[in-house]
Amino acid sequence: MSKRKQDLGENVALTGKNIDADESGDEDFDTINVDFEWFDPQPDVDFHGIKALLQQLLDVDAPLFNLTEITDLILSQPLLGSTVKVDGNQTDAYAFLSVLNLQEHGAKPYVGKLAQYILAKANSTPHLAPLAALLSQEPVPPIGLILTERLINVPSEVVPPMYTMLLEEIQWALEENEPYQFSHYLILSKTYTEIESKLDAEDDRPKKKNKKAAGGSFETMYFHPEDEVLQRHALCAGGFDYSTHRDEGYSDSKRAFQEMGIRPQGHAILIEAGKFKDAVQHVAEYLKPAT
């Protein structure tokens, strides 16, 4: 059943330049108008779509994990979390959001491996020291690991309803004495930085000036704009390098229609449970569709 249907009135940019771009250098993109629908995760329909989105979320480190088992676990709790679709419930998800209890499921090898991976990254990142301290406890506290991803051209306005419905669903689950009384929420996400293109260096072509952060390094950019809002409410937040080595030229392969190469990183945001509702409300305000 559809949870809610909402016409966002949003134009989704397709990947392709308009050949009629004006002389100022501004580029127009083809757009389409779509109606998005939110659904409960459906085990008979959503396995491949959610697994593919998990692969996208975990980037080059995705092969380190048993995504089949993680996807099955997400689908085993169909009344918690959402998928976003366009052409009805029988199609693949354009986006999804779910939460896993790291204490409840930590004994499962595939969840334990993911938790140990996050712990290792937190131990190597000073900004994530509070997260490392929590994940080092025995047993691990009841941390809600939020996994969410969407196709690259899906507008961020689909996100607030997923978070809002998650809060409602957790409350309903608690009324049924289900294990969703979390101490913290941990959002696993990803960011990127722009880096100098090796192709441009080889071609010795002129380069545009690019915005750099203080200290001369390129600033961190967010694949998910809501992460900037969420981490304002965070106990800690920070990025980390992926474990899997990238081939030479990987960053240039990600630079479609722009001067710079792209270097993705993992990102973690830890929010105390008591502050999560306000964080979700501020995300909704920040990403409110234009009227």
- Residue-wise pLDDT tens digits, 231-280: 999 999 999 999 998 775 554 444 444 556 788 999 999 999 999 999 99
Q: What angle do CA 2, 187, 274 make, to 5 degrees?
A: 90
Residues 56/220/160/111 CA torsion (nearest 10 deg): 40
Higher pLDDT, 108 or 258: 108
Which pLDDT does position 279 carry in this prediction? Answer: 98
Q: What does the pLDDT average to over 42-66?
A: 97
pLDDT confidence bin for 195, thresholds 50/70/90: confident
Higher pLDDT, 31 or 47: 47
Share of the chain above pLDDT 70, in %: 77
> Is the confidence at residue 17, as pLDDT, over 60?
no
Q: What does the pLDDT average to over 30-50?
A: 88
Higher pLDDT, 227 or 4: 227
Mean pLDDT, rounded, of the chain: 84
pLDDT confidence bin for 87, thresholds 50/70/90: confident
Which pLDDT does position 9 carry in this prediction? Answer: 41
Which pLDDT does position 212 carry in this prediction? Answer: 53
Which pLDDT does position 289 carry in this prediction? Answer: 79
* Token pair of 237 as six digits: 């937040």
Are residues 239 and 191 in contact, defined by beta-carbon separation less than 8 angstroms? yes
pLDDT confidence bin for 10, thresholds 50/70/90: very low
Higher pLDDT, 87 or 126: 126
Rounded Cα–Cα distance for residues 74 and 111 (Å): 11
> Is the confidence at residue 182, as pLDDT, over 90?
yes
Which pLDDT does position 204 carry in this prediction? Answer: 53
> Is the confidence at residue 80, as pLDDT, over 50?
yes
- What does each C-alpha distance from 27 to 15, 16, 24, 79, 221 come to in angstroms? 12, 10, 9, 42, 21
| pLDDT digit string, tens, across residues 114-173 | 999 999 999 999 999 999 999 999 999 999 999 999 999 899 999 999 999 999 999 999
